[in-house]
Amino acid sequence: MKNTYWILLALMLTNCAINNVNNSQQLPADDAQLIDYLFSECIGNLPGTSVMVIKEGKVVHEKSYGLANLEAEIKTTPVTNYRIASVSKQFTAMAVMILINQGKLTYETTLTALFPDFPNYGNNISIRHLLSNQSGLVDYFEFIDEDRSEQYLDNEILASLMKLEAGNFQPGSQFEYSNTGYAVLAQVVEQVTKGTFAEFMEQEIFQKLGMKNSKVFEANKTIENRAFGYTGKNDSVKLNDQSVTSAIQGDGGVYCSIRDYYKWDQALYTDKLLPKDQLADAFYDWDNNTRTDKEGYGYGWYVDFYEDIKLLNHSGGTAGFETRVSRIPSLNLTVIIFTNTDRHDRNIMHMVNALTSIYSDYKIPMPIDVMMKKEIDLKGTEYGNKIYDELKHNPRYKKEQTTLSYLGFEYRRMGKLAEAEELFIKATKEHPNYFGGYYGLGRIYQDTKKKDKAILNFQKVLELGTGAETGVLNRAKNELKQLLEDK
């Protein structure tokens, strides 16, 4: 029966995949089955998913599933144009770096130097602060009226910032991920070039790399091969292509296909856009204008490490779209997944992590929760916990003290409370001095109206609070207070 399941699934995937022309690397059966399982949720007349793995310059895995347009029943292909959301930031960063290379800007140029009417706090905000998310600029969602229906634009964000007297913190003193900063960078490009951000991206990046399919979103302008965004699951899927912030360009406005992204990825190994020594700056953490070899954020890229292997990655999420990219330059390996639905939960992360592990020949360990989720979905939580016990000491698989509780919350979000409860219980047994499992149990027992058990677990969270996130501690305190008042 088990073999029959995998045979049928493989046939379904083959029928639904498109243009899998370069899948040249023969994978072990277990790895191939894991990939089939991970993408089985993409099968059918559902919003689309396009995936590509690039290894040593060659496409070794390429598939597209589902529909780019449900209403018109248009299937996705490798040239389907997805809104890549915050993965766009690496393109915005490149545009600014090109201007710096052209001598039209420096990393130390300040906002007030570029925009003379900008308030005094802009004297301390440099281009480098914007690129590395250390500007302290206020989140643009604080400017947007809840009742607004007209789309917000990058220049409006700049205008709103000019009405303030200060940012959130001293620039360069800390990291705070900032969509605002990247929207401002698009305005920097326009201020320096006296043209539009979309025109500069087209001329200086897309055309030079032959990315004929890629565009920066502009209202009322056609995007060829466009995927439309959706939300919801199963029978409740509905169009959700635009939001009030979807016309903002600098932080997430690029539309791109996996085929075009291949050209971009390969260009990052060359000097086609920038000299290599200058390009390298994008791939390091920056700490108050100092390049470091630690984990952090570069210019449009998160920088992580596994042992001495550098991992560059970024995800994106916006109305109707989720995307994720992982690059390991030392292994010449890149994994790309673009989707036109915003309801993948953590599954897109599981997909990318699994492909990264498999195609790195496990030089990057497989997160153990990927293996657990497969067993839980196919057989039940007992088998998922069993796999955890079997693999937790195997160096090919990665586990952390957060693994079980994070997976528990994933099942809670899916409404699978029984599975979540078992995972949280397992978390408290494996890591009795870590608050995560107890916090999860507190939330589950709240959901199931078991107040006494919820109280006990929230009290345990506060008892173990050292090292817990402030937000978690505060929520536990508030939930405990409410439960005690309601008794």
User: For 318-351, how does the pLDDT look when each residue is reduced to its tens digit (9 = 90+)?
Assistant: 999 999 999 999 999 999 999 999 877 678 999 9
Digit-coded pLDDT (tens) for 399-420 = 999 999 999 999 999 899 999 9
Check residues 2 and 342 and name the one with the higher pLDDT: 342
Instruction: Give rounded-to-5 percent helix, strand, coil for the chain.
Output: 45, 15, 40
Class of domain 82-320: alpha beta
Structure tokens at 148: 């607004």
Digit-coded pLDDT (tens) for 144-163 = 888 888 999 999 999 999 99
Domain ranges of the chain: 82-320, 400-487
Beta partners for residue 77, in sequence order: none
Mean pLDDT of 309-317: 97
Instruction: Report the sign of the C-alpha dihedral through residues 75, 77, 83, 85, in that order.
Output: positive
What CA–CA distance (Å, rounded) separates 236 from 47? 12
Length of the chain: 487
Can you give the pLDDT at residue 233?
A: 76
What CA–CA distance (Å, rounded) separates 295 from 365? 18
Residues 6+ apart with CB under 8 A from 195: none
**What DSSP designation does 270 have?**
S
What CA–CA distance (Å, rounded) separates 107 from 103? 11
Can you give the pLDDT at residue 466?
A: 63
Query: What does 187-255 look like in DSSP terms, one character per residue?
Result: HHHHHHHSS-HHHHHIIIIIHHHT-TT-EE--TT---TTBPPPEE--GGG-EE----TTTT--TTT-EE
Can you give the pLDDT at residue 19?
A: 39
Given a cut of 80, is residue 470 above it in pLDDT? no
Given a cut of 70, is residue 231 above it in pLDDT? yes
Can you give the pLDDT at residue 220?
A: 87
Among 232-236, 375-379, 456-460, the least confident range = 232-236
Question: Alpha-carbon Rg of the chain, whole angstroms?
Answer: 23
Phi, psi of 436 (to 5 degrees): -60, -45
Q: Considering the domain 400-487 in this protein, what is its CATH number?
A: 1.25.40.10
Mean pLDDT of 16-39: 73
What CA–CA distance (Å, rounded) separates 487 from 474? 20
Digit-coded pLDDT (tens) for 165-187 = 999 999 999 999 999 999 999 99
Digit-coded pLDDT (tens) for 239-257 = 999 999 999 999 999 999 9
Terminal-residue alpha carbon distance, the chain: 51
Can you give the pLDDT at residue 6?
A: 41
Check residues 441 and 479 and name the one with the higher pLDDT: 441
Can you give the pLDDT at residue 5?
A: 40
Can you give the pLDDT at residue 20?
A: 40
- CA-based nearest residue to 181, from 306, 96, 74, 75: 96
Among 21-35, 87-101, 232-246, the least confident range = 21-35
Confidence of residue 81 (pLDDT cuts 50, 70, 90): very high
Structure tokens at 54: 């690039």
